[in-house]
Amino acid sequence: MALAGYAGRTPRSGVRLIKDLDASITGRDVLLVEDVVDTGLTLNYVCKTFGLRDPASLNAITFLDRPYRRLVDDLPVKYVGFTVPDEFFVGYGFDLDERYRHLPDLHLVRSG
């Protein structure tokens, strides 16, 4: 599954489904792997969508977590790599307008 929830540094007003699953998750244990969970809107969308598909269990893991930005409560985030401040990071796979993704570690983007 592939979703889009950001445009540059700005969160989108909604979630855009780019690619759906190719296989059924009915009766299966599902672990959602997220890069960042902040507002929770994207993860909430996926959880509701997957919940309708009757998985045996549904949990999430995230590399970076921003729990103080949550707009949605009760997300099934079971495992967290790092809780980070309300800053924008690039590198280690994270990009800004398709740039900086290749950097081998995380870098904080300063505004201004």
Mind telling me the catalytic residues? 38
| 8 Å CB contact between 58 and 30 | yes
Type of residue found at 31: L
User: How far from 80 is each of 17, 30, 89, 98, CA to CA, in Å?
Assistant: 24, 16, 17, 25
Q: State both tokens at 92.
A: 């280690």
CA 70 – CA 50 distance, rounded (Å): 20
**In this structure, what token pair is assigned to residue 86?**
């309300």
